[in-house]
Amino acid sequence: MIKILLAAMTAATALHAGAAITVIDDDGRPVTLQKPAQRVIAMSPHVTELLYAAGGGEKIVAGVDYSDYPEAARRLPRVGSNRLIDMERVIALKPDLIVIWLHGSSERQIEQIRTLGIPMFHSEPKKLEAIADSVARMGKLMGTEPVANAAAAGLRQQLAALQSRFGGRAPVRLFYQVWDKPLYTLSGGHIVSDAIGICGGENIYASLKVTAPIVSIESVLEADPEVIVSTDERSDVGGGVGIWKEFTSLTAVKRDNLFRLDGNLLNRSGPRMIAGAAQLCDRLELARQRRKGK
């Protein structure tokens, strides 16, 4: 009889333990919650977009600066930026999950928050296909799996369509310009390079070890890219991609392959990035067409 009771107790304990939710974050760490998260803080604009796409908009209690999509995100309370976090406000909000992005000078503060024992999920998709996986994992953590899984499936379909359309296309060498003063770009370690590759592009600075390196105008001129893409929001006149127009011997200038795209789509590793990649693919296809007669 005692053995039967012990077996029953063991089974009940195992069943209770099975109710816990565990996912692996982008740092390879397991994140375990005893129940779906109800109070979530998003520590990056792309994280906010992932959470909304996963159906967790009502569970987000705060975001950070520049969290402006979807429209509802503009009304979220702020707990700082990637440079400075209001630690007291974070604690006062009593989150049961914080989704972090380890960039900027707030990294030290993030580690301080980790010591408080609040579950933390590190979001850092490196491939476009990982965005859909991120949405699905967010849904699992928040108990919104039906919405999240449907959204993830839609994103995978969009990505598959891009890969089918542009896979095997002739390569296009490009310079990806994030800002011009200083002039910096994104290397192969950033998810943008995956988008470039899907479109049949070749990032001329893919081999650099720094994720967001500062480069020189001279090195770009020496590399002579066929396309220059800028996500600088300023006008092309006197800034952004327009700084290259004076270099008339540059292939990208000669072929009128200076393109400005929306950085909110391409530089944020959220659900909209696949739409941003589609725009990039279209520009590279235009560059291929302009090779005729050159």
Residue-wise pLDDT for 248-271, tens only, equals 999 999 999 999 999 999 999 999
Q: What is the pLDDT of residues 132-191, one digit of tens each?
A: 999 999 999 999 999 999 999 999 999 999 999 998 899 999 999 999 889 999 999 999
Is 11 a member of any domain?
A: no
Q: Which domain holds residue 113?
A: 16-155
Q: How many domains does the chain have?
A: 2
pLDDT tens per residue, range 47-59: 999 999 999 999 9
Last residue of a domain, one of 155, 182, 208: 155
Decide if 4 is inside a domain: no
Whether residues 137 and 23 share a domain: the answer is: yes
Does 53 lie in the same domain as 111?
yes
Residue spans of beta strands (DSSP E) within 16-84: 21-24, 30-33, 40-42, 60-62
At 113 the pLDDT is 83
- Whether residue 145 is found in the same domain as residue 23: yes
Radius of gyration of the chain (CA): 22
> 133 and 41 in one domain?
yes
For residues 106 and 181, membership in a common domain is answered with: no
C-alpha angle with apex 191: 189 to 193, nearest 5 degrees?
75
Q: Within a domain: residue 269? A: yes
- Beta carbons within 10 angstroms of residue 233's beta carbon: 12
Are residues 31 and 125 located together in one domain of the fold? Answer: yes
CATH classification at residue 132: 3.40.50.1980
Please check whether residues 95 and 202 belong to one and the same domain: no
Residues 121 and 220 in one domain: no
To the question of pTM greater than 0.85 for the whole model, the response is: yes
Contact (CB, 8 A) for 267 and 277 = no
Q: How many CA atoms lie within 13 A of 34 on its CB side?
A: 3
220's enclosing H/E stretch is: helix 217-223
pLDDT at 232 over 90: no
Is the per-residue pLDDT at 17 higher than 70?
Answer: no
Q: Are 24 and 138 contained in the same domain?
A: yes
Q: Which of 212, 159, 172 is nearest to 188 (CA)?
A: 212
Are 89 and 104 spatial neighbours (Cβ–Cβ below 8 Å)? Answer: no
